[in-house]
């Protein structure tokens, strides 16, 4: 398969949906020769909420390259920023890094990077062709995310990465990235998101996130809600895992990413590298943090357009706070699109104080809430806030840029990616495998 054929095949596997569990990914990593062998699996531990059974798991799969350090990051918000900071600081310290994140914004290749460079189209095509041949008759068939995780870890092995930074896709305990033995487990702030899969309370969600904690493996955590902190402490104690809560933000050097909250993310990233055994001077840390880039995280595109992928209530509140830090009492024309499985009302409520008007539009995602339904939510929460609808991302951005106000593009990473593609004049993620 060439690159576009390979992506078309991979996207077709989305019909298998989301299947949380580790048996398939473990099998895939074994046949790809990424790991040394198969870890024992107790099927009774696979059901959600059976935290005690999961905690008793004796080992995860060990990478064949035992010299590689694996930093595994879970949490609700800030995972991507922390991963990006770990990666840039490690590279500033002359380490060869592999970075695996999700979702991508414009190109699938964003998910897999070595030393900051996206995986090549040829390596995607070759890796997916090999995986397709290996799993053709598997039942159950591996999911999109399991296949992508396998592709990434095989690529990191082939390119001899020293430090692997793995961001969980969803949750942690049963996420495909959790099949690998880590050198340190990192947990960013836990809040509400993906409740359908992870639970409807902070305690339930925290149990899933804390599932990345492994026996006798260091744990670094951002400050947490009391109920989440209690779960993390309980899990770490049960695994005899050294636990560090990072309470002081990093203030010694500048950070390229906007927002006061990024100072805490930076402190967590630095603590994670230290827990993994990497030492770095303040000068090296400064070089990394001053060069870090993470698209659609309060990304100031130009003097009037800001793009932020906030897609849950907590991240929307942080976005509003960062907006005030940057622009004071100035309000925004907000271009808004939200996926239907999110807490739409809470997101709108968080953004309301910084909005002068809202423009609703249809994005290219089947999961997106239609503009007319989103309008009903806005009318119920804040009847006096003006809103309008427009049929496309291109028309919405073009019209908003003609106003005198700053423009904020937000509500979904899918939307952020589509908007970035338009602004850059590039094919978006859905067009990538068809052109």
Ordered domains of the chain (ranges, CATH): 3-291 (3.40.1190.10), 299-424 (3.90.190.20)
What confidence score (pLDDT) does residue 431 get?
A: 60
Q: How many CB atoms sit inside 10 A of residue 120's CB?
A: 14
CA distance 78 to 137: 38
Please give the pLDDT value at position 45.
40
- Quick one: pLDDT at residue 49? 40
8 Å CB contact between 325 and 427: no
Q: Classify 312 as helix, strand or coil.
A: coil
Contact 118, 98 (CB under 8 A): no
**pLDDT at site 57:** 47
Residue with tokens 């509500």: 411
| Residue 286: predicted pLDDT | 98
pLDDT at 401: 86
Report the alpha-carbon distance of residue 226 to residue 202 in Å, rounded: 10
What pLDDT does 427 receive?
82
Strand partners, 226: none
| Residues of the chain with confidence (pLDDT) below 70 | 38-58, 429-435
Q: What is the pLDDT of residue 143?
A: 95
- Exposed, middle or buried by CB within 10 Å (0-12, 13-18, 19+), for 384? exposed
pTM: 0.94
Using CA atoms, how far apart are residues 192 and 90, in angstroms rounded to an integer? Answer: 31
Distance CA 387, CA 378 (A): 8
């Amino acid at each position: 398969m060439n690159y576009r054929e390979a992506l078309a095949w991979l996207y077709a596997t989305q019909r298998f949906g989301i299947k949380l569990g580790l048996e398939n990914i473990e099998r895939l990593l074994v046949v790809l020769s990424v790991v040394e062998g198969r870890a024992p699996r107790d099927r009774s531990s696979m059901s959600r909420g059976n935290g005690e059974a999961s905690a008793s798991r004796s080992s995860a799969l060990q990478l064949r390259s035992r010299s590689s350090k694996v930093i595994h990051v879970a949490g609700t918000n800030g995972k991507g920023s922390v991963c990006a900071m770990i990666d840039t600081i490690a590279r500033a310290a002359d380490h060869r890094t592999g970075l695996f994140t999700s979702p991508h914004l414009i190109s699938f290749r964003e998910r897999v990077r070595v030393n900051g460079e996206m995986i090549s189209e040829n390596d995607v095509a070759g890796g997916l062709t090999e995986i397709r041949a290996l799993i053709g008759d598997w039942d159950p068939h591996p999911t999109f995310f399991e296949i992508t995780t396998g592709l990434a870890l095989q690529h990191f092995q082939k390119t001899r990465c020293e430090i692997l930074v793995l961001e969980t896709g969803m949750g942690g305990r049963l996420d495909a990235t959790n099949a690998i033995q880590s050198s340190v487990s990192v947990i960013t702030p836990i809040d509400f998101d993906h409740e359908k899969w992870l639970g409807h309370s902070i305690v339930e969600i925290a149990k899933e996130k804390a599932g990345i904690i492994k026996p006798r493996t260091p744990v670094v955590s951002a400050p947490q809600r009391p109920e989440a902190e209690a779960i993390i402490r309980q899990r770490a104690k049960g695994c005899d895992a050294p636990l560090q809560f990072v309470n002081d933000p990093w203030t010694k050097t500048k950070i390229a990413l906007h927002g006061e909250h990024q100072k805490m993310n930076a402190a967590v990233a630095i603590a994670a590298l230290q827990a993994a055994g990497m030492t770095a001077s303040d000068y090296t840390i400064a070089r990394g943090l001053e060069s870090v880039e993470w698209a659609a995280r309060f990304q100031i595109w130009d003097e009037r357009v800001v793009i932020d992928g906030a897609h849950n209530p907590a991240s929307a509140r942080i976005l509003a706070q960062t907006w005030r830090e940057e622009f004071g009492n100035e309000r925004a024309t907000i271009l808004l699109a939200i996926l239907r499985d999110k807490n739409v009302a809470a997101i709108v409520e968080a953004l309301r104080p910084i909005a002068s008007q809202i423009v609703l539009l249809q994005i290219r995602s089947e999961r997106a809430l239609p503009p007319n339904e989103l309008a009903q939510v806005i009318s119920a929460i804040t009847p006096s806030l003006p809103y309008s609808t427009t049929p496309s991302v291109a028309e919405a951005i073009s019209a908003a840029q003609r106003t005198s106000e700053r423009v904020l593009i937000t509500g979904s990473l899918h939307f952020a990616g589509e908007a970035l593609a338009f602004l850059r004049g590039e094919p978006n993620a859905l067009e990538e495998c068809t052109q």
